[in-house]
Amino acid sequence: MKAGLFAIAGLSAVAVAQPAHRRHQHLHKERDVVTKVDWVTEIDYATATAANVVVYVDEHGNPISTAYASQAAPTQAASKAASSIVVPVKDSSAAVVKSSAAPSYSAPAYSSAAATKTSSAAPSYSSTASSAGDGYGITYSPYRTDGTCKSQDDVNADFARIPGYGTVRTYGTDCNQVAMVLSAMGPNRKLFAGIFDINSVDSEAQIIINAANGDWSRFDTISVGNEGINDGTYTISQVSSAVQQCKSKLSGAGYTGPVITVDTFVAILAHPELCSVGDYVGANCHAFFDGGVLADAAGAFVVGQAQAVSAACGGKKVVITESGWPSAGNENGVAKPSEQNQQAAIASLKSSFSSNLFIFNAFNDYWKKNNSGTFNAEWYWGIFGDSASCTAP
């Protein structure tokens, strides 16, 4: 087997295992697939050196071996020239994936027992961001425990508890969330607004246009669809057509910013045609679902996947549109949900990226469908714990 060399951080078993375990179910028409979050501040590119991690691939681009700085290269001769892709990251030389062996490609064993959480209070996690306008984004969804819509007062109370994070990502337009988040998030943030159902592009884009009311300075990006290829819901042709339809409608209303689609890094690597669909590449990536990555190595893992996506997309700008770690749930291999590990993972992510990263999620989402397929962790991704209007059932 011929081996090619890319100077990018490790592709792992996630490419096979993650889709089976990775779905933040969304309720309410579009609520059977993930939480949604609004707006984003402009994120500047800051380039730094990523961990010295190498993935060896064959002539077809399939990963065959991963090596780190302290490891020798595999015995196969690398027949292709090395190339490197740099994404906006911080110096992550100290971050290493602490898995003693390559993660298994089969689904890891896990307990089907209900997840337990020792405290319903917000975890003691302290954000490194001190004010709005920093380079990180955060995801947010406006639903109560029973799946009904939060009020403007509820959303205002939520944002009073979110320090920093210059961008807010939402996933849809129901519940008047675009207007409510714009009102609650303050003047120093921008919105990354989402259209969830690509079959409703025209009507959802109009809702965004109405909420903008002619002021597009508060919008960073508009996304169309979330993980539709990963879930097998849509074809690439359908997603591409929807993005172009949205772009045309929004430009007619004066919007000149990016329009993209978002999918998992696994789906993008498997379908590089997605690279050309939007103005940049939006990739969701969660180290927890790999099963072979410890919490404090989450940053190195996600940097590696961001670089792999950028390489597959010819160096195109990549934004990690979701990444986090659950505070409760069942173990997934060496990945263990806990508040301490959540804090470690978020710190690792922030030490690895200086921008172009959305932390998933602001608050726990008890309106979602918790299940063993996502290790009974679906409720517990909120880095600020429970929202006052969305508490444990």
Residues paired with 349 in a beta bridge: none
Rg, the chain, Cα only: 20
CA angle 213, 217, 221 (to 5 degrees): 95
Compute the residue count for the chain.
393
Cα distances (Å, whole numbers) of residue 320 to 305, 331, 391: 9, 24, 28
**Torsion (CA) 230, 378, 90, 311 in degrees, nearest 10:** -10
Instruction: Give phi and psi for 226, each to the nearest 5.
Output: -140, 110
Residue-wise burial string across 131-151, b where 16 or more C-beta atoms lie within 10 A, e elsewhere? ebbbbbbbbbbbbbbeeeebe
**Among 294, 295, 344, 301, which residue's Cα sits nearest to residue 320?**
301
CA 391/CA 96 separation, integer angstroms: 35
CA 172/CA 16 separation, integer angstroms: 28
Cα distances (Å, whole numbers) of residue 165 to 128, 133, 284: 10, 6, 18
> Is residue 361 reached through a cis peptide bond, with omega within 30 degrees of 0 on the bond before it?
yes
Task: Name the active-site residue from 30, 227, 322, 339.
Answer: 322
30: annotated active-site residue:
no
Instruction: Give phi and psi for 201, each to the nearest 5.
Output: -55, -45
Contact between 99 and 292 under an 8 Å Cβ cutoff? The reply is: yes
Helix extents (H) in 160-297: 177-184, 201-212, 236-252, 265-270
Residue numbers annotated as active site: 322
